[in-house]
Amino acid sequence: MVHVPLNNFSIFYHLLFMKELSKIEKYIIEKVKEKRNEHELTQIVLSQKLNMSDSFVGHVETPKRRAKYNVNHINSLAKIFKCSPKEFLPEKPL
């Protein structure tokens, strides 16, 4: 077991558990945020429409959080926004 002083715990936690978001994750999050804003939905309302906790979308949109959209979320988002799931993905690989 590693002993980490309490004042350094957040730095240790970040280095151990927090990975930088990939380009594709950032792209999808930004596309969903654009759609959410176009439809004038708050983070809470969209979270509720996804049947997730009220804080889910806020956590996804916060880079320091680990929450991300998965393919089921993308499918549900397409239903909510009445669009193709493709609209959340780039034309070419990133």
Residues 45, 63, 53, 72, CA torsion sign:
positive
Q: What is the pLDDT of residues 42-87, one digit of tens each?
A: 999 999 999 999 999 999 999 888 899 999 999 999 999 999 999 9
Confidence class for position 92, pLDDT limits 50, 70, 90: very high
Cβ-contact 59, 46 below 8 angstroms: no
Which residue in this structure is represented by tokens 């809470």?
44
* Range list of β-strands (E), 1-94: none
